[in-house]
Amino acid sequence: MSNQIPNTEEPHYKHQIRRFTGIIKWLVLGVIVGIIIGAVGAAFFHGIRIVTQFRKAHSFMIFLLPLAGLIIVFLYRLSKEYEDTGTNLVITTISAGDHLPKRKIPLIFIATILTHLCGGSAGRESAALQLGGSIGHNFGELIGLDEDDCKIITMCGMSAAFAALFGTPMAAAFLAMEIEAVGVMYYAALIPCVLSALVSSSLASYLGTVPDVFTVSIVPEFTVDNAVKGSVLAVICALISILFCIVMKKSGELYKKYFKNPYLRIFVGGCLVVLLTLLVGNNNYNGAGMDVIELATKGEAPYPAFALKMLFTAVTMGAGYKGGEIIPALYIGATFGCLYSQIFGFNSALCSAIGMGALFCGITNCPISSLLLCFEMFGYNGMPYFLLTIALSYTFSGYYGVYGSQKIMYSKFHNKYINHKTR
């Protein structure tokens, strides 16, 4: 009798059936996550919109920012979130499978609303990534997904939330796959992330959200002279993105060094924002500042706006208020681009778009998402400028990033595996 080892390899048809059922599973889950987070994202969008309108109509709300800060710290301490790492925890969940507590969902929602209601300088997208990631992760655990699948559904949630708030499903789908490990793309999550982003964006739009679109309708011819002007702006904005990352990190460190108590820390931060607002004499640097971004695309933004927004955001976020860094970065890029256009006589809308794309890429280290965001927010007319901008910004921004848990897996300058965290 032969001692031949039997062939235990799975028959090809069984392998294909298993693969097909896996695809069907993610098609269904992608749609479900998109529906859930599309609805939550729309509610979050309208919540931010309503409180922003209320704050603009009632200027006294800025004086309540220190009190709002105390409430935020109280809520986080009450839920035992003593050291909230925000979006960094969501990113770590993708890489290491850390648990995302359910209590994070209402916490970040309420804290961001309070920050915007009282005039803190913050965005909303980091809150959206936390909301989406937390909902996706906890939904995955609820239905019994294993650790690897929970990572994918966490990415689905992030894509869905970003798409719901920004109305940019292409960028949202790739951002979640790109953000955790620079140089590595989690293509296994492609179908669910794309589906969840599309469904969420469509549902949120149906529920009344309005995407942030600043179409650049008139684009100068892509000549050598214009390409050089655009390239110089992209490189400067990449360097500004480094400064932004450093300032955001150092502000938090300084607050913690001099104000050990989180209640005192956020109260002092709120008072500083109030003082800064009174000194500048307007509300251009409070909240997200989308109206100022629109002014920048028309060449009408105040000249020092980019520097003041960076200061306001660092003082706000470093103290412990919630929201996000991406919209402030877009604001800084748009307003610096506006200033650059005035100095060099270049198209203001295009310069603002280049500035926004470069800052987004510089702080996130996500070139594919950044390019897609440019296309969705500004249109395809400026394609050669955007392509050049993203390439230059990704390279010149080095290994800095606004998310400390993000890893740079492959060198930006050599074909080399490095596996370093961002600075």
Per-10-residue mean pLDDT, the chain, length 423: 51 79 94 97 96 96 98 91 72 73 87 97 89 94 93 96 95 94 90 97 96 86 96 98 97 96 97 98 95 95 96 97 94 98 95 98 97 96 97 97 90 89 86
Between CA 212 and CA 148 the distance in angstroms is 33
Q: Which residues of 121-160 are buried (b: 16+ CB within 10 A; e: fewer)?
A: bbbbbbbbbbbbbbbbbbbbeeeebeeebbbbbbbbbbbb
pLDDT of residue 73: 95
224-421 belongs to which homologous superfamily? Clc chloride channel (1.10.3080.10)
Cα–Cα nearest to 134, from 174, 175, 98: 98
pLDDT of 127: 86
8 A C-beta contact, residue 393 and residue 237? yes
Q: Determine the pLDDT at residue 1.
A: 40
Residue 75 CB partners (closer than 8 Å, separation 6+): 107, 110, 111
Residue 201 DSSP SS3:
helix
Return the pLDDT at 84. Answer: 63
Q: What is the CATH number of domain 14-206?
A: 1.10.3080.10
Q: Which residues contact 57 (CB under 8 A, 6 or more apart)?
A: none
Q: What is the pLDDT of residue 2?
A: 43
Full DSSP string of 271-294? HHHHHHHHHHTSSTTSS--HHHHH
* Cβ proximity of 406 and 182 under 8 Å: yes
Outline which parts of the chain fall under CATH 1.10.3080.10: 14-206, 224-421
Instruction: Decide: 153 and 192 in contact? Cβ < 8 Å.
Output: yes
> Encoding tokens for residue 413?
């300058």
Indicate the burial class of 96 (C-beta count within 10 angstroms; 0-12, 13-18, 19 or more): exposed
pLDDT at position 386 = 98
Whole-model pTM over 0.75:
yes
